[in-house]
Structure 1
Amino acid sequence: MASSGFRFELMHTDTGSNARRGRLHTPRGSVELPTFMPVGTLGTVKGVDVDRLRSTGSQIVLGNTYHLALRPGADVVASLGGLHEFMGWSGPILTDSGGFQVFSLADRVKVTESGVSFRSHIDGSPLEITPERSIAIQELLGSDFAMAFDHVVALPNKREVIADATWRSVRWAERCRQAAQRNDQMLLGIVQGGLDPRLRQDCAKALVALDFQGYAIGGLSVGEPPPEMYATLEATIPALPADRPRYLMGVGRPEDLVESMARGVDMFDCVMPTRNGRNALAFTDRGTIRLRNAQHERDSSPLEADCPCPACQHSRGYLRHLFQAKEMLGPILTSIHNITYYQRLMAEARLAIESDAFDEFRRAKLAGWEA
């Protein structure tokens, strides 16, 4: 079922790269592309309230089907007005299908052609997710963007294992397409295929034939070196339609974002800004700052002088003190800073693409991070 109220607008492609400036129109507002989606797995971006999240420049957030199905339950979320009302976020929301948990919880799952049987990581209780069930949960949650249920495997892996999971993902995508009922939810297909260029291209062609409104590239950043990921993107993206949004799932190093944008990716998500923030790691244009290091004890400078976030209203010495004292404000402030940094990076990238200066922007950022 085609969803209504959604439209992808390709506004400009950088002349020196394949970086794209676009806009994704949704019933809950437009999303400027390229964009980064903070991860709110359980209906919350850890440690960051929605007002603070909006102030970072975030336009769209991500929730997770598997986790929300276990706790509090999709029916509970639906009874409380759906995921937007539940978490107090009025902008667009994308929900992952639960497919990544097939990889991340591999010791707790059994995969068949029908679907996946999980053992809850909370209490060991059983949970079965099929393509149809994944769509039903996402429709109960009421997200704006739903993902097809896919089979993710670790890399490197045997070719036959990757091929089996890839074609199962295509068959499951077709079942998701048939199961979708809501016309106010946009469904995206997910391209799998490991690091095999031909398999990625064949998977992309099969999904394009199913005519999804957007396409994701999944199964990367699961152990492969960055150059292999970039080569996989270069093989996959030309097989995707230019008039649909492209979403690279779960990739979050700033270097990887910039390199992927240069290859034509529009959307990203990752837990890295908040996970690193909780562990006293702050992102800046000069690389990662490890706030627990003793060198910051008497440092009166902010993380970044031109950053408007609340963390940068304080000194590095104060932020270090919060972590040393195990005060919860330390992880909160550093998480907010990191999300703000990612959103500033996206905003700068959009301006660079509009000006046909993305390659210069890319080189300058990479040089700063390497320094």
Structure 2
Amino acid sequence: MSLANHFDLIATDGAARTGRLTTPHGMVRTPAFMPVGTAGAMKGIHWREVRDAGADIVLGNTYHLMLRPGAERIAALGGLQRFTGWNGPMLTDSGGFQVMSLSELRKVTENAVTFRSHLDGAKVELSPERSIEVQRLLGSDIAMQMDECVRLPAERADIERAMQLSLRWAERSKRAFESAPPGYMLFGIAQGGDVPELRHASARGLVEIGFHGYAIGGLAVGEPQAVMLAMIEEVAPILPEGRPRYLMGVGTPEDILEAVARGIDMFDCVMPTRNGRHGVAFTRFGQVNLRNARHADDPRPLDEESEWPSTRDCARAYLHHLVKSGETLGAMLLSEINVAYYQRLMQDIRDAIARGTFEEFRQRTRADWARGDIAPR
């Protein structure tokens, strides 16, 4: 039986696509960047600023939320949107990546992953069925299948074993999701590391199973950008044209621009808020490290043409002072500045695709980044 499709493809320009994804909590314009609210909160930035910046959808983390405060507790409090105050669309990951990256003591079997909580050492089992159960308790609009992600570089045998296990877990995840109410979605995740034939096998297997959307996982985990882009080029043509495509855990503005050019619709990354907490701003002219002493006497804003107030109005000297002083406000301002930049970039990408000028926009944007930050007047 075919799954209902909630994705409308509006326009294409080369391989780049713009569309609309309809969820129970609202509409998502694509290409879309999802800010990451790991534990039900966006680090250093309020939900209203995320909304005002233009984000349609955010990401919540199954691993962290199932451990604290607990999926059952969140469900009893009305679900993740009501619990957090974010009333728009939300995607939750499966928890598998965090199990692999945060839990030193873990055991992977055919049935599940058993691990020790990084909070209190308690033994926890996460199976595909439990992952879907947790995501349904959270009430996310888009759930992800349980998979095993292998960090690169890795031996081919390890990559193939994890890919095949992920395919079997994809089937179990889909069966577990069958009772979800209409309108909610489950995405499959293509694995296969940096081996093209394994990526092909994974993608074809997922399409045969059938999902509401398809993700490309296991990238941005240590491989060069060229390898990541090559794997997208291998996988994207295999995925159904009329379903959304999600590149997990990516990335820099350049990564996003290049992935859109290869047919990707959705992205997530902690980079805007993480870099903000470390004194780095994203701007039209590339990254600006506010820790550098050259900003101490610079009265200019980061971008006087920006629509975002903090980007347009805050002096670089003041932001430098906040960062060097360790003031929380510095991290807050730079986090919102970065989230706003990412959302502006996505809007500009969507507009360019709709106008049929994406390649021109891509070249102009890359030239601006290459130009770099301009010197004080």
TM class by shorter-chain length? over 0.9
Partner Cα separation in structure 1 for residue 357 and residue 110 of structure 2: 47
1:272 alignment partner in structure 2: 271
Partner Cα separation in structure 2 for residue 338 and residue 78 of structure 1: 31
Partner Cα separation in structure 2 for residue 102 and residue 13 of structure 1: 37
Q: For 1:135-169, what per-residue CA distance to the aligned partner results, in whole angstroms no more than 9, with x for missing partners?
A: 00001000000000000011011001000000100
Deviation, structure 1 residue 196: 1.0
1:350 alignment partner in structure 2: 350
Alignment match of 2:104 (pick from 107, 113, 116): 107
Deviation, structure 1 residue 310: 3.6
1:32 alignment partner in structure 2: 29
**What SS does the aligned partner of 1:168 have?**
helix
TM-score (norm. length: structure 2): 0.95
Contact 1:102/1:152 (8 A) holds in 2: no
| 1:315-330 alignment runs, 5 A limit | 315-330=315-330
Deviation, structure 1 residue 103: 3.1
Partner Cα separation in structure 2 for residue 308 and residue 104 of structure 1: 38
**What SS does the aligned partner of 1:68 have?**
helix
Partner Cα separation in structure 1 for residue 105 and residue 347 of structure 2: 40
Paired letter, 2:76: S
Q: For 1:236-263, what per-residue CA distance to the aligned partner results, in whole angstroms no more than 9, with x for missing partners?
A: 0011000100000001111100000000
Partner Cα separation in structure 2 for residue 269 and residue 67 of structure 1: 17
Contact 2:148/2:166 (8 A) holds in 1: yes
Deviation, structure 1 residue 182: 1.1
1:338 alignment partner in structure 2: 338
Partner Cα separation in structure 2 for residue 318 and residue 2 of structure 1: 56
**What SS does the aligned partner of 2:104 have?**
helix
**What SS does the aligned partner of 1:188 have?**
strand
Q: For 1:184-221, what per-residue CA distance to the aligned partner results, in whole angstroms no more than 9, with x for missing partners?
A: 42000000000111111111111001110100000000
- Single out whichever of 359-368 and 223-232 deviates more from structure 2: 359-368
Partner Cα separation in structure 2 for residue 302 and residue 143 of structure 1: 38
Paired letter, 1:351: D
**What SS does the aligned partner of 1:227 have?**
helix
TM-score (norm. length: structure 1): 0.97
| 1:75-86 alignment runs, 5 A limit | 75-86=72-83
Paired letter, 1:76: R
2:117 alignment partner in structure 1: 120
Q: Does 1:232 align with 2:231?
A: yes
Deviation, structure 1 residue 2: 7.7
| 1:254-293 alignment runs, 5 A limit | 254-293=253-292
1:139 alignment partner in structure 2: 136
Paired letter, 1:329: L
Contact 1:22/1:32 (8 A) holds in 2: yes
Deviation, structure 1 residue 102: 3.5
Deviation, structure 1 residue 311: 2.2
Partner Cα separation in structure 2 for residue 176 and residue 10 of structure 1: 26
1:214 alignment partner in structure 2: 213
Q: For 1:16-42, what per-residue CA distance to the aligned partner results, in whole angstroms no more than 9, with x for missing partners?
A: x30001111122211111000000010
Provide closer, same or farther for how the CA distance between residues 234 and 106 of structure 1 changes in structure 2, counting only shifts above 3 A.
farther
1:194 alignment partner in structure 2: 193
Q: Which runs of 4+ in 1 moved over 4 A?
A: 1-4
Structure 2 unmatched ranges of 5 or more? 372-377
Contact 1:103/1:154 (8 A) holds in 2: no
Provide closer, same or farther for how the CA distance between residues 106 and 235 of structure 1 changes in structure 2, counting only shifts above 3 A.
farther
Count, aligned residues: 368
**What SS does the aligned partner of 2:287 have?**
strand
Partner Cα separation in structure 2 for residue 284 and residue 134 of structure 1: 37
Contact 1:2/1:183 (8 A) holds in 2: no
Deviation, structure 1 residue 106: 5.3
**What SS does the aligned partner of 1:107 have?**
coil
1:164 alignment partner in structure 2: 161
Partner Cα separation in structure 1 for residue 37 and residue 204 of structure 2: 31
- Single out whichever of 259-268 and 325-334 deviates more from structure 2: 325-334
Deviation, structure 1 residue 119: 1.0
Partner Cα separation in structure 2 for residue 141 and residue 75 of structure 1: 8
Contact 1:2/1:186 (8 A) holds in 2: no
Q: Does 1:152 align with 2:122?
A: no
Report % sequence identity: 54
Deviation, structure 1 residue 54: 0.6
Partner Cα separation in structure 2 for residue 73 and residue 194 of structure 1: 32
2:180 alignment partner in structure 1: 182
Deviation, structure 1 residue 112: 0.9
Paired letter, 1:307: S
**What SS does the aligned partner of 2:87 have?**
coil
Q: For 1:98-134, what per-residue CA distance to the aligned partner results, in whole angstroms no more than 9, with x for missing partners?
A: 1211431252321111111121111211111000000
Q: Does 1:58 align with 2:59?
A: no
Contact 2:3/2:211 (8 A) holds in 1: no
Paired letter, 2:260: M
Contact 2:103/2:117 (8 A) holds in 1: no
User: Please, what is the CA RMSD of the aligned residues?
Assistant: 1.3
Paired letter, 1:353: I
2:241 alignment partner in structure 1: 242
- Single out whichever of 343-352 and 301-310 deviates more from structure 2: 301-310
